Structure formats: structure tokens, C-alpha cells
A and B are shown apart, each in its own frame.
Chain A
Amino acid sequence: MNAEIRPIKTAAETALAANFARALGTLPGKGTVAALREDAFRRFEADGLPHRRLEDWKYTDLRALVREAKPLAAPPDATAKARAKDAAAALASLEARRIVFVDGAFVPELSDLADLEAGLTIRSTAEALAAGDVELTARLGKIVATDDLAVALNTAFMADGALIHVAAGTALMRPLHLVFVNAGAAAAAVFIRSLVVIEAGARAMLLESHEGSDGYQVNTVLELQVGDDAHVDHIKITGDGAGALHVSTLMASVGAHARFNEFLFTTGGAIVRNQLLVRFVGEGTIAGIRGASLVKGRQHIDTTLVADHAVAACTSRQVFKSVLDGEARNVFQGRIVVRPHAQKTDAKMATHALLLSESAEADNKPELEIFADDVQCGHGATSGALDEDLLFYLKARGIPAEEAEALLIQAFVGEAVEGIEHAGLRDALMEQVAAWLEARSH
């Protein structure tokens, strides 16, 4: 074995090891699940918290950024649940089926589980893990396998989440909304693991929103399997508290002739890392992978995307926009992989950053790894300030400077948000953009 010398553990790493040793007996699942956790923690310990010398984490050095590991969240008490009641109110107009998690734990009494459509099942991950559910354990970590450290840490500590199954041919009329709220009196660490399987020909829209108090540490993983001919939209809204650390990984495998739309909308959190691992496993699929982030102060937002064209004839469009004020920093690492047999792949990636202040920073790292010869792939990246000539045009028509800026910023973000199919959600997100702009001007 290659005994690479590791630097001395940081305080956070030491605390994570202690937390793990203490929690292993009480985390849901024995036998196979416990073994999985131990394996995962060993994987994590081999490298520790991801740091700048790992290429994938070059711009987001968690070893330096995470000073302490918070204790694992306790089950939410009545006060925390009460605080969570009005969560995601801005999205209420969508009339989605809400599945609510407080401090990472499923709360049935806040969730809407009545009259589930035929073909839809929803369970809690904690329950399934405790029961040693084979459907879960057989799939866990396998939909898109990765040795990523954040995922390993999640597997070691995973506490709860949603386990959703949509049967073949089922078209869900209402969106599903996973509402994650951190509402405890003291900041804690939350490990969420969800698994969603959408079978062939099914139609589903899955919304995921994160919000809550300052200082939480969230590590959330969603494994998503999209069947052949299915049509799936996944929209993740990251609106955590100002001091929060939020690390999220989507591992999605998409079947043939499917439609898959992913959207990341980020305004919250001190440090946010959104990892998207999307693999195309069936031909003829069309995917849109988009996002918009609006950040200020010293927020650090990292989007790391791998679009893996493992089979032929899939189309993917990736558009990410970021609006950066103050000393905020946006990192975009996007990689398109086209494997040797993935001919006729059509993949395009664009990232645009709008810098509202002198001290904001945008880092773009687009990569193409193409092993097939009959493909269309490309990427483009821009970053810059608001266009002075456009601002003058608006002001010359009587629009005050602040309002003119807001109009142009909304237009900039709108180009990404337009990619969302659901009109009500587009409107709701643009209202959040307006609210962000309103807050910025005060």
C-alpha cells in the first residue's frame, strides 16, 4: 500500500473522527449499512477534508475554510418544527407536495403525504436504512459511482432524506418539493441522503430548497435515476443562512430518449459547493443543466459539473450565470466528457459572471474531454461589469441608476431562468431575484 504521508489532522478532521466513532452505533442501519459507513469513513480519512492540492477542489479548500466540525444535529424539537412551518413560503404558489425535513430529519406532520398519486411512493431514508431495505442499499452510491470525499463523508454520516419512487408511465401532476430547513437553537451538522428513482416514461418535477439558521454545516447527496423516455426536472434552491457551509452532490444517471432539466439557484450560504455528476446512459436524450447564483459579502459559491456523455447522440446545454457583489467569489468548474463511442454528442457549456464590485471574483474552468470524433462540443465563458452604455440608455429614459442596474441584472439572470419549463417557478425565482436586488440597494 502506498503510505502517502498526510499532514497532521486539522481540528475539524479530528472532531469528525470523534463524531463518527461516537455516532456509528446510533446512526440508522446495522450490518451492511454500518459496513458501508465504515468503508466510506476510511475513504474520507485517507485524504481528509478536500483541499487545494486536489485538482477538483483547487478553488474551494475545505481544509482551510472549515475550522470546526459541528456536532451532528439532534432530532428537531417542537420549537424547531414550529419555526419550520413557514419554510419556502415564496414557493407556496406552486402547490407542490411538500416533504419537510427539519435539521435533516423527516417531519411527517409538516409534510403532505395525503392522497399520493398511484405509482408514487415516498419514504424516509432513515427508516429504510434502519430496516436494511435492499432496494436502497443495493443502489446506494452506485447510480453514478464516485470516490469524491464529500460523498464519502455523507455516506459515513447519512442520517435521513427522501426515498422516492415513481413507477413507469406515471405522470405526477404536482411537483414534489423537498423542503430542508435548519431551525435548531444551536448550529449543527446535517447529513442528508436522498435517492429518487423515476422509472421509464414517467414525468416528475422535483424541487429541493434549503434554508435556515446561520452556521449550519450541510452535506447533502441526491442520487437520481432517470429512466428511458422519462421527463424529469430537478430544481435546487440554496438559500441557507449567511454563515452556513453547504456541500451538495447530485449524482444522476439519465436513460435513453429522456428529457432532463437541472437548475441550481443559489443566494444563500457562506460557502456553497454544488457538485453535479450527470451521466448519460441511454441514447437520444436531451438535457439542460443550468444555474444562477446571486451572491454578495464574502460568499463563496462553487459549482462543479461533470456531464458524462457515455453513450451516443445525447444533447446537453449548460448555462450558468452568476451575479457577484462585494467580495463574493464564484467558481465554475465544468467538464464535458465524451466517451469513445459517444458519437453525435452535442454539448455546449456557457458561463457568464456579472461583477458588480471591484473586489468580486469569478473563476471559470471549463474542460472538454473528447474521445469521439463526430461530435459538436464547445464552451464559452465571460465575465464583466454592467454595460455602461446600456445603463446610460436606461437612465436617459428617466430610469434611476439603481433601477436601471436592477433591470439589467434581472435580464442577465433571466436568460438562465428562462430554461426552466414551469412558468410559476420561473416567476417565483425572478421574484427572489428582485428581492435580492431590493436587499442589495438597502
Chain B
Amino acid sequence: MHLLEVKNLHVEVEGKKILNGLDLSVGKGSVHALMGPNGSGKSTLAHVLAGKENYQITQGEVLLDGEDLLALEPDERAARGLFLAFQYPLEIPGVATMTFLRTALNAQRKKRGERELSTPEFLKRVREVAGKLGIEQEMLRRGVNVGFSGGEKKRNEILQMALLEPRLCVLDETDSGLDIDALKVVADGVNGLRSEARSFVVITHYQRLLNYIIPDVVHVLSRGRIVKTGGKELALELEASGYAQYREEAA
């Protein structure tokens, strides 16, 4: 069975059709890249998977390990192993990053019937992961993402991902706004988490990120549906030819 199955998904926002019969199957341990022009529905898919409000699902279904994902609250989806790395991570003044991380981790563990981590256990875990990503302890004491640069915010997303150990990671334009050094740090973080048990959907407009996170499968999204699927070389083709042809094909 596939870890994630999206079947004939139709989604509207305020009466406007965004996803238009999207099908996507992601197997265990594989990395799928989802590419497409602006407005093709990439971020909508990410938000719908994570459970953001104000999207009307008019048709179709989404299964995570065979379970109806759309019937679950966002926090329940997270506890079952879904993680969305935000395109624009939010700043939460007054909530220390440490508090945020511990609350999230223990909420998920509790929901899965696992023991909550003690403070020393938790601190040890965070230090290990933060160290690998070059995140200073001082940053963890600050409010979530408050005063962080674009690169730091994205690194913080990867930190959360590493700590929460999801089964399915959806990266929504994680490369946006990053310079090449920051991009490498983020990509290294992601690559370090690749495993047989973990799958990725990497959403990106540009091929650049895929030089560092090498996908198993590349999909092209246009007008709310997948119009082409291929190997990693498809990303290179797109880089050379652009999205224009897919816009026309979909039309």
C-alpha cells in the first residue's frame, strides 16, 4: 500500500476551483517532487493535506496509510506522522521555541499513547538535533521565529521536522527566499532525514533545490492536476524549457 494516496481531489477556495481532479501516490521511503507554475495549486495541496481551514473539498479523497486524512483535525494528522514545512513560517512572540517544541512533541506522543518526554530527555533530543543544523541554543530561548532571518526560519522548520520524526514530510517551497548557503544547510537537513520509513513531497517552483534533494519521482502540476510524471531528469527538462507547454496542454 502507498503511504499517501490522493485520489481525484477537487478543491475550491471561495468558489474558485484550485485543484481539479488531482491524483498522487507516494510510496514508503520515496521522495516526490511536485513542480509547477505559480497558481497551479501546489501550496493549496500542501495546505489541504495539513488541514488548513477555508478550503472546500468538493470531490475526492486523501488516505494516509489507508486512513481518511480529511476527516482528521490538523493536530491529529500531525500525530499520525504528517508534517508540513511552511513556505512562510510564522512568528509567535511570547512563545519560546523550546516551549513550542516540547508542547508539540509531547502532544503528539500523548495522542499516540506514548510516554511524554521528561524535561532532561527532551533537552537532550533538542540539543542533538539543533547541533546538527547549526542552530544556537540562544535561538531556542527566543519566541518562535521572532527576529529570525529567512534562512533561520527554514532551518527551524527542519529542526521541528527532525524532532517530530514524521512519516510524511511535505515541504512547501522550502527553497523560497534562501541563498545558496542556506539552501545547502536545509537540503543537508532533509537528506539526513531520508530513510526507508519516511517519505517526502517536495514542492518547488525551481529545479535548483532538486540539485541538493534528489527526488525519486518528479510531477508537474498545472491547473490543479498532475499533467506529467517522470524521473529526476524531468526537473532538468523543465528548467530548460519552462512551464509554458504544460499550461497549454492543460488548457
List residues of A whose CB falls within 8 A of some B CB. Answer: 388-390, 392-401, 403-404, 407-408, 410-412, 414-415
Contact = CB atoms under 8 A, between A and B. Distances in A.
B14 interface: no
Chain B facing A: main interface SS: helix
A392 B84 CA distance: 11
B94 A412 contact: yes
B94 A389 contact: no
A415 B93 CA distance: 9
17 contacts: A390-B90, A390-B92, A392-B50, A392-B74, A393-B86, A393-B92, A394-B104, A395-B51, A395-B75, A397-B75, A398-B107, A398-B164, A400-B107, A400-B111, A414-B94, A415-B93, A415-B94
Q: Which 10 A-B pairs have the closest CB atoms?
A: A411-B94, A398-B78, A398-B108, A397-B104, A395-B74, A395-B75, A411-B95, A414-B94, A393-B90, A400-B75
Interface string B60-97: 00000000000001110111000010100110111100
Contacts of A407: 92, 95, 99-100, 103
Contacts, number: 76
Contacts of A390: 90, 92
In this complex, the interface size class of chain B, counting residues with CB under 8 Å from chain A, is 20 to 34
Contacts of B2: none
B22 to A, nearest CB: 20
A412 B93 CA distance: 8
A397 B164 contact: yes
B204 interface: no
B53 interface: yes
Contact of A396 (B50, B94, B99, B111): B50
B185 to A, nearest CB: 21
Contacts of A411: 92-95, 143
A404 B105 CA distance: 13
Contacts of A394: 92, 100, 104
Contacts of B77: 396
Interface string B105-122: 101100100000000000
B165 to A, nearest CB: 11
Nearest to B74: A395
Nearest to B91: A390
Contacts of A410: 94-95
Contacts of A388: 53
A399 B104 contact: yes
B92 A398 contact: no
Contact of A395 (B78, B86, B89, B99): B78
B228 interface: no
A39 B143 CA distance: 55
A396 B100 contact: no
A397 B107 CA distance: 9
B209 to A, nearest CB: 21
A390 B89 CA distance: 10
Contacts of A414: 94
A396 B51 contact: yes
A292 to B, nearest CB: 12
A408 B95 contact: yes
Nearest to B166: A398
A392 B52 contact: yes
Given A403-B107, A407-B100, A408-B95, A396 B84 contact: yes
A401 B74 CA distance: 9
Interface string B40-64: 0000000000111100000000000
Contact of A398 (B93, B104, B143): B104
Contacts of B20: none
Nearest to B54: A388
B160 interface: yes
Contact of B103 (A389, A393, A396, A399): A399
A398 B100 CA distance: 10
Contacts of A389: 90
Contacts of B143: 411
Given A396-B86, A398-B104, 8 more contacts: A392-B50, A393-B86, A393-B89, A398-B111, A399-B107, A407-B100, A408-B92, A411-B95
Nearest to B96: A411
A404 B103 CA distance: 9
A400 B51 CA distance: 13
Contacts of A404: 75
Nearest to B84: A396
Given A403-B103, A407-B99, A407-B100, A397 B94 contact: no
Contact of A401 (B75, B95, B99): B75
B78 A397 contact: yes
Contacts of B92: 390, 393-394, 407-408, 411
Given A407-B95, A407-B103, A398 B75 contact: yes
